[in-house]
Structure 1
Amino acid sequence: MNYADTVQDLSPALTALRLLAVDFAQLPAPTERISPIVPKELDLSLHGDLGAFEPWRAALGIAREDIDFHTQGDGQTWVLCADTDYAGARVTLYAYGDVLRRTLTLVGGCHAA
């Protein structure tokens, strides 16, 4: 693994972030993570709004079939995740949102008059 020793070593991820900020300034603001442990990776996280994932997915050119969907937190949180190469970096897009629960109330049953 190649750790970054300088900010310049983070250039792939920083360049991708800069280009995303310019090219897609109108998209919902994500939380960004760049780490010297994985200097060629950029993580974008969207919290509390799964709907914000779709415009980012489309902008990054990620196919719908490449989206991973799972739950976490004892099934209380839905997670969407997908990644792609963009401007020399590996960009991983996450969205987190509450599981949708709908309470069904049966009134009268099947044979109600």
Structure 2
Amino acid sequence: MSENLTLDGLTVPMRALRALAVDFPDLPAPTLEISTIWPKRLELSLHNGLGLFETWRVALGIAPDDVQFREQSDGRTWVLLASGEFAGAELKLIAYGDSPDSLRESSGDGGGDA
């Protein structure tokens, strides 16, 4: 991170974002992050389940082998992560979704034996 970073220092991820909007206007909008901490990175986060991750992964040309799976919140949340390059920017794609156990708990089925 540079204390003297100007808006011009963020042009790489902003250009990538513009290219995404032009190339993939019909894809569902993710949460976007451009940060002075990583001025070459564009982060796309999907917070409504894991289903849209695959659509974005394919569109961005990220190989399936480059996808990482993680759990958080004591296994209640599943996370898919992938990184790649798009239009000169380092791209980070993340999706968050409820685990099956978490879905059962929220529906009143504790998942235990009857």
TM-score with structure 1 setting the length: 0.86
Q: What letter is aligned with 2:28?
A: P
Q: Which letter does structure 1 place at the counterpart of 2:48? A: G
2:49 matches 1:49? yes
Uncovered stretches (5+) of structure 2, i.e. residues with no partner: 105-110
More helix by share: 2
Which structure is higher in strand share?
1
* 1-structure distance, mates of 2:79, 2:5: 32
Give the CA deviation at 1:5.
1.4
TM-score by length of 2: 0.85
Q: Which protein has the larger Cα radius of gyration, Structure 1 or Structure 2? A: 1
Amino acid at match of 2:17: L
Alpha-carbon distance between aligned partners in 2 of 1:4 and 1:20, rounded to the nearest angstrom? 28
Q: Is 1:12 paired with 2:12?
A: yes
Alignment size in residue pairs: 106
Q: Which amino acid aligns with 1:38?
A: W
Q: Which residue of 2 aligns with 1:76?
A: 76
RMSD (CA atoms):
1.8
Residue ranges of structure 1 left out of the alignment (5+ in a row): 107-113
State the partner residue of 2:96: 96
